[in-house]
Chain A
Amino acid sequence: DVKVTQSSRYLVKRTGEKVFLECVQDMDHENMFWYRQDPGLGLRLIYFSYDVKMKEKGDIPEGYSVSREKKERFSLILESASTNQTSMYLCASSFYGLAENNEQFFGPGTRLTVL
């Protein structure tokens, strides 16, 4: 079974703190994604990466950065956390491109609260 794991299920941080959210997948997927999930807004793409050291901005990259030093690991960084970044963060991975068996596999999510 494909496994996408995230470093924390719940996280509480203070305004201004630097926050690291880590995601690891074990299926040798090229693509990795970070989404933010908020009620009524669905999933919004923050960043994605299709290769090591490559990254692309999604719909809402402001206030976030990412790092992908190894194929299996994709980190989301909040340089200076703010209360409006309180949310559920979902990591996902998939193979590259349009293929018959392509789908996204999701991690369990990290619920981040910024006080």
Chain B
Amino acid sequence: AQTVTQSQPEMSVQEAETVTLSCTYDTSESNYYLFWYKQPPSRQMILVIRQEAYKQQNATENRFSVNFQKAAKSFSLKISDSQLGDTAMYFCAFFLGNQFYFGTGTSLTVIP
């Protein structure tokens, strides 16, 4: 079975600072995809960033980047220059065999 673990239920960061959200996963497969999704308060879940397991280069999308450590099965999300609009629930997800597996989420609050 595939599992995704987010060990930080809640985090906070000062505006303009950098924060890192942790995610670990467990699988015996070698080819898969990893995602970070963002769910703002009372708003729709949207994709933040995606990483393909066979690519060693870490994905980057503007202020969002990942630290993908395949051997350690770790996939953390770094948010640089945090903005108030980054306040949201963040879910780490793993895709394999036509199915997505989600972590329990990290609630991030950006403090003005």
Contacts and interface: CB of A to CB of B under 8 A. Distances in A.
- Report whether chain A binds chain B: yes
Contacts, number: 50
A41 B104 contact: yes
Interface stretch (B11-19, B45-53, B67-75): B45-53
A98 B44 contact: no
A41 B96 CA distance: 21
A97 B98 contact: yes
Interface of B: 6, 9, 31-33, 35, 37, 43-47, 50, 52, 91, 93, 95-100, 102-105
Contacts of B102: 35, 42-43
* A interface, over-half SS: loop
Interface residues of A, number: 24
9 contacts: A40-B104, A42-B104, A92-B45, A92-B100, A94-B100, A98-B96, A98-B97, A104-B100, A106-B46
